[in-house]
Structure 1
Amino acid sequence: MLDDDTLLRPRPAARPRTLAAVAARQAADRPAHPAVLCEGRVLTYEQLHRESNRTGHALHAAGLGSGSRVAYLGKESELFYEIALACAKTGAVLVPVNWRLTRDEIAHILSDSDTELLFAERERLTVAGQLGTVLPRLREVVPLDTAEGRGTGFLAWQAGHPADDLGAAAGFGPDDAVAQIYTSGTTGLPKGVVLAHRSFFNVDEALAQGCDWVDWQPGDRCLIGMPGFHIGGLSYAMQGFVAGATMVSVPMFVAGDVLRQIGELGLTHGLVTPAMLQMLLDERGASPAAFRSVRKLIYGGAPISEPLLRRCLETMGCEFAQIYGSTETGNFAACLPPADHVPGSPRLTAAGRAYPGIDLRIVDEDGTTLPPGAVGEVWVRSPARMLGYHRQPEATRETVRDGWVRMGDAGRLDADGYLHLCDRINDTIIVGGENVYPTEIENALVGHPAVADAAVVGVPDERWGEAVHAYVVLRPGRQATPRELMRSLRGRLADFKIPTTYAFLAELPRNPNGKVLRRALRDRLWQGRERKVN
């Protein structure tokens, strides 16, 4: 943990400060050490460096360079990390796309980002082909290789290019853009959060100061449970590369497969959500013996309930740490350390304490800092924060005030500096770690011929944290069932955005200006709960 001596200890000057420099350093220091394991395939640090160099040269040959947007539409694999590091070495910006989105949702991201080259899974090539006519800046679509057809897509596109170092480690600095992750916002349409190299180093800097809340040890094999199109998954993987750990990539989280890999690969570390922990425990083979290799599990996206923590401690027997942050903060902003994961402890309800080098404050509506115990909006100041929203300077200024990121959460700080969340100020719904914004769902619902009006809110859900609930006003003389409404949304919205429960009202409550009072509707579903976040 932290003490006065470690706080004063300087960071070694030789520490890499860009992802390109990290790849080169690890290839030199531990060339044969596995960097990525995926479905039986092994990529060492030397191979990762060489193949990302080769991909970088291929990007240059395709006419892409500094500032070019390169999108990845597919499940996780070692190729994702080769492409991510190739972008870091060429100055291109990686745009990871949630593969569960619909055609129109994907089109918005590719169009808004000005994507010039798209890597896509073969089962999504039809969608990519349909988008070609509406994406004038898209130069090329490269199919991603599958286990059955390796060497016929991306690997063939990459082949023939040299693997020598691009020399980009010195050409790009910590403040240069390297990734653009899409997250929901006040308009309902996802906004591109542009992140710099520096966003992926604050955990390394905390470790240099002696903070071991989230740490890596020699020989760690780390499960990337969250996908790379989330800041959690991308940040965890890149922080693991910075530490020189072995990262275990899974195409998608399937509890039975992950449980098997824990035993077969001897996984020691991982990033998951509470829902994933529960799914692992519900597997038939879950037992203390099945988790004997696991040293520490990091979770985020939602707090852990005390009953679930008890089950985890009894069966998994490892350390747990909760992380709190956002895409806009660029990384983990606060952490509930392993020492505070004690059933019955009042600190278990906290989101955690600020990482070294990061500040938390609670402010009122005027932006005045409130004293400990007072409830207000949570603001975070972090060196890892975003460069801004892509092409949205006004939205950036609204979210970032004098270097502080407005989190959209209501909370309080206790006397020991622990952050306790009380409510959500904005209307975002978080379903199993996925951000869902009501406006786009409401717009889709009112497109149904029987629906006159709709309001969407989050409802507590024991497994996913929150589920999507719709209040619907039908047109006079028209009828529609929840099943009909759900079916009408299929293909228009990603499945995790579709409401699972519905209530029909004669009218929606509105203020004198005509704005729907979502808060009043949401409060009906959260009655009797101390916290109105889950």
Structure 2
Amino acid sequence: MSAMTVEAAVAHVLATNPTFAVAPTEIRGVTYKAFQKIPPTIPALMAAGMAQHDNGASHYLLYEGERWTYGEFCAEVHRVSHVLVDTFGIGKGDRVAIAMRNYPELMTLVLAISATGATVVFVNAWWTTQELEYALSDSAAKLVFADGPRTERLLPLVDDLGLTLVGVRDAGDGTGHDYTALQTAASDAPLGIAIDTDDDFAVMYSSGTTGHPKGVVQTHRSAVNAVFSWLLQAVIAPLVTPLEQDAPPAPRPSALVVTPLFHVTATHPLFLLSLIAGARVTLLRKWDAEEAVRLIQTEKITRFLGVPTQSAELMMAARKAGASLETLDYVGSGGAKRPGAQVAQLAKAFPNAGIATGWGMTETNALGIGMIGDDYVNRPESAGKLHPPVQELRLLDDNGNDVPLGELGEITVKSPANMRCYLNKPEATAETMQDGWLRTGDLAVMDAEGYVTILDRKKNIIIRGGENIACLDVEGALHRLPDVIEACAFSVPDARLGEVVGACVQLHEGATLDLEQMTRALKGHLASFKMPQHLWTQSEPLMRGATDKLDRRGLRAACLDDT
């Protein structure tokens, strides 16, 4: 078979495979292109995956020596869903929070909560008690499943917020409820609760320019449309790059999860996709490049998706171990842009793998732009092309007009994978979502072939190793310090993490503040990953622009020139 272009392969699959049928669909008064034959909800996605996992008999999940078949995993999901309904009275319209590191129970809970018709609230496991308080108050989640460290941070909030805590793994006896004890004796029959495809599936918090994170409301339809957009990429792959006639059958897909499951980079294109793709999942408890190399070798991992720092460290660890990691067929990055020079290095280090990049947002259920293989090697600074077939893309100026090819505009996308809204923030929703089009805040140019290169951000966001940090969040914490008159946060280039937080502050006359003092003073008020790692101080007012607003870019440039 001769190779097809991506566009021809997509057209062929859409015309011949009913699973991927697409048609105009009205959603909340707006017409989108959407899949027509896919599972309508997350519970239906899990049920449809049974056939892809040898009717449940296939090994599905590995965590530090613990293994589940797909059937065993689904049975636990059903038991937990019964516990939610029978013990805690959870039902449609409720919100249930998950606060823990990457434990298998997190995956189980996502599906179990969904099966009740309730909404999953993903809580960032690195947040302080104050940050947790905001998210739980904002989401009105009263039931929280938490591991040990998160339980310690949540206990001070129990009375004021009326929380019920269920302990997972190392949570001990402090919660009064134990996940394992509750679910062991429950029924493993499916609940069978009717859920609409446009019901809310999840709330994921994404750092925004307002300081407090925004709760991104994702529906069942939006998540599943994103999943099937990625599944289509796997279906067209052999049409775009045909296998040799004598090539052995492709191995069963197997993903290593190395980024937090409370972010879309791990939940959607790895965990949720694995359900319908028949893929195995291995959870890494904590990022360790040498352990990742070992697991890739012993578990025959085919898919690695992490922030750019992790793929670089994986490459170095593999080189140190003399390991070729020949089972890898995909090495992707998400959450932050990979340095262009690293692309060719990875392609040389992992010749069997397609080196890939992707751009997506919590607001798009991680769906967006991407590319793989030679396309990426030849365009290492680009983000790639729009993933087909349900998305539409425009680059707009400040007045909402399309910009010509090659000119800078704001990435604006329309698809059924877009969020429903920002929770409790109608003004922010109206500003971001306009007639179905989502204005992303990322500025880019597009060439005649459709390749998009992201050049800047309108939003005051720092991306540290894949974690979004709002500048206003950092500045708000710095303003707590009595000697600080004014503060400005900005990104500082970092060889390992891409960007870290820097800050310049104006101090009262005669006051002093160094990095160590600042870090001590902000501990408990600012999550560690948000803590400034570079600090500049001055007694004169901070640089301002023509409109008397802080000149963030100018101040950043001046500080970096001063290092």
TM over 0.5: yes
Amino acid at match of 1:84: V
1:223 to 256, 272, 278: 256
1:16 aligns with 2:39: yes
> Which residue number in structure 2 is paired with residue 112 of structure 1?
138
Deviation at 1:180, TM superposition (A): 0.7
- CA distance in 2: counterparts of 1:314 and 1:444, whole angstroms: 44
Corresponding residue number in structure 2 for 1:160? 185
Correspondence 1:428-447 to 2 at 5 A: 428-447=461-480
Which amino acid in 2 is paired with 1:198? R
| Residue matched to 2:27 | none
Cα 1:314–1:511 shift into 2, 3 Å? closer
Instruction: State the partner residue of 1:376.
Output: 409
In the TM superposition, 1:20-31 aligns within 5 A as 20-28=43-51, 30=54, 31=56
The count of aligned residue pairs is 519
Q: Which residue of 1 aligns with 2:375?
A: 340
Structure 1 partner of 2:542: 508
Q: Does 1:263 align with 2:297?
A: yes
1:76 Cα deviation from its structure 2 partner: 0.8
**Alignment TM-score, normalising by the size of structure 1:** 0.92
Contact 2:197–2:220, Cα closer than 8 Å, also in 1: yes
Is the Cα–Cα contact under 8 Å of residues 376 and 384 in structure 2 kept in the other structure? no
CA distance in 2, matches of 1:297, 1:374: 31
Counterpart residue number, 1:65: 91
Write the distance in 2 (CA, Å) between the matches of 1:282 and 1:212. 28
Match of 1:275 in 2: 309
- The residue that corresponds to 2:120 in the other structure is 94
Instruction: Decide which of 281, 287, 311 is 1:253's aligned counterpart.
Output: 287
Contact 2:483 2:507 in 1 (8 A): yes
Shift of 1:235: 0.7
| 445-454 or 11-20: bigger deviation | 11-20
Which residue is 2:330 aligned to? 296
Cα deviation 1:72-129 (Å, max 9, x = unaligned):
1111121111101111211111112111111111111111111121111123322221
Alpha-carbon separation, structure 2, partners of 1:360 and 1:66: 34
| Alpha-carbon distance, 1:285 to partner | 5.8
State whether residues 287 and 316 of structure 1, in contact with CA within 8 Å, keep that contact through their aligned partners in structure 2. no
Q: Cα distance 1:485–1:148, how it changes in 2: closer, same or farther (>3 A)?
A: closer
Q: Does 1:417 align with 2:427?
A: no
Residue 512 of structure 1: how far off its partner (Å): 5.6
**Of residues 147, 155, 158 in structure 2, which corresponds to 1:121?**
147
Q: Which deviations, in whole Å up to 9, do the C-alpha atoms of 1:356-390 show, x marking residues without a partner?
A: 12122111111001111111211111210001111
In the alignment, structure 1 residue 235 sits paired with structure 2 residue 268? yes
SS at match of 1:328: helix
Aligned-residue sequence identity (percent) comes to 33
- 1:349 counterpart letter in structure 2: E
Measure, in 1, the Cα distance between the counterparts of 2:137 and 2:288: 31
| CA deviation map 1:7-45 (0-9, x unaligned) | 433533764232101222223552111222111111211
Question: Which residue of the other structure, out of 351, 355, 366, is the alignment partner of 1:320?
Answer: 355
Name the amino acid aligned to 1:9: T
| Aligned equivalent of 1:354 | 386
String of CA shifts for 1:28-63, please: whole Å, max 9, x gaps: 552111222111111211112111111111110111
For residues 13 and 374 of structure 2, the distance between their equivalents in structure 1, rounded to whole angstroms, comes to 19
Residues 204 and 262, structure 2, Cα contact 8 Å, conserved in 1: yes
Question: What per-residue deviation string (whole Å, max 9, x for no partner) do you get for residues 324-360 of structure 1?
Answer: 0111111221112223132xx3x22111100112122
Which SS does the other structure have where 2:312 is aligned?
A: helix
Per the TM alignment, residue 67 of structure 1 is displaced from its structure 2 partner at its CA by: 1.9
Residue equivalent to 1:204: 228
Q: 1:2, 1:211 within 8 Å by CA — same for their partners in 2? A: no
Partner of 1:143: 167
* SS of alignment partner, residue 394 of structure 2: strand
Q: Does 1:34 align with 2:59?
A: yes
Amino acid at match of 1:50: A
Distance 1:379 1:14, change over 3 A: closer
Query: Secondary structure in 1 aligned to 2:272?
Result: helix
| Structure 1 counterpart of 2:107, one-letter code | Y
SS of the residue aligned with 2:76?
Answer: helix
Q: Aligned pair in 2 of structure 1 residues 206, 498: CA closer, same or farther (>3 Å)?
A: closer
Name 2:70's counterpart in structure 1: 45
* 1:148–1:27 Cα change, 3 Å: farther
Conserved? CA contact 1:438–1:457, under 8 Å? yes
d(CA) in 1 for partners of 2:560 and 2:511? 30
Task: Measure how far apart 1:227 and its partner are.
Answer: 1.0
What secondary structure, in the 3-state scheme, does the structure 2 residue paired with 1:25 have? Answer: helix
User: Helix, strand or coil: the match of 1:278?
Assistant: helix
2:156 alignment partner in structure 1 = 130
* Equivalent-residue separation in structure 2 for 1:39 and 1:447 (angstroms): 42
CA contact (8 A) 2:48 2:276 kept: no
The one-letter code of the counterpart of 2:253 is D
Q: Which moved more, 1:314-323 or 1:407-416?
A: 314-323
2:111 to 55, 69, 85: 85
1:41–1:438: structure 2 CA closer, same or farther, 3 Å change rule?
same
- Kindly provide the amino acid, as one letter, of the partner of residue 276 in structure 2: V
| In structure 2, C-alpha distance between the alignment counterparts of 1:260 and 1:383, rounded to whole Å | 39
Q: Which residue does 1:532 correspond to in 2?
A: none
SS of residue matched to 2:18: coil
Deviation at 1:206, TM superposition (A): 5.4
Shift of 1:289: 2.8
Offset at residue 287 of structure 1 (A)? 5.2
* Structure 2: gaps (5+ residues): 1-5, 20-35, 242-248
| Distance of aligned partners of 1:176 and 1:468 in 2 relative to their CA distance in 1, 3 Å threshold | same
The 1:123–1:301 alpha-carbon spacing in structure 2 relative to 1, beyond 3 Å, is closer
Q: CA deviation at 1:208?
A: 4.1
Q: CA deviation at 1:288?
A: 5.8
3-state SS of 1:396 partner: helix
8 Å Cα contact 2:369/2:384 also seen in 1: yes
Paired residue secondary structure (1:291): coil
CA 1:147–1:265 in structure 2 vs 1: closer, same or farther (change >3 Å)? farther
- The offset of 1:217, in angstroms, is 6.0
3-state SS, counterpart of residue 35 of structure 1: strand
Q: Secondary structure at the match of 1:282?
A: helix
Q: Mean Cα displacement is larger for which, 311-320 or 187-196?
A: 311-320
Q: Which letter maps to 2:191? A: L
Alpha carbons 2:293, 2:318 under 8 Å: kept: no
- Identify the match of residue 436 of structure 2 among 403, 408, 414: 403
Q: Which residue of 2 aligns with 1:530?
A: none
Secondary structure in structure 2 of the residue aligned to 1:260 = helix
Q: Tell me by how many angstroms 1:186 deviates.
A: 2.6
Partner of 2:22: none
How far the C-alpha of 1:524 sits from its partner, in A, is: 4.2
Query: What is the rounded CA distance, in whole Å, between the counterparts of 1:41 and 1:433 in structure 2?
Result: 28
Do 1:101 and 1:494's aligned partners in 2 also have CA atoms closer than 8 Å?
A: yes
Distance 1:85 1:394 in 2: 31
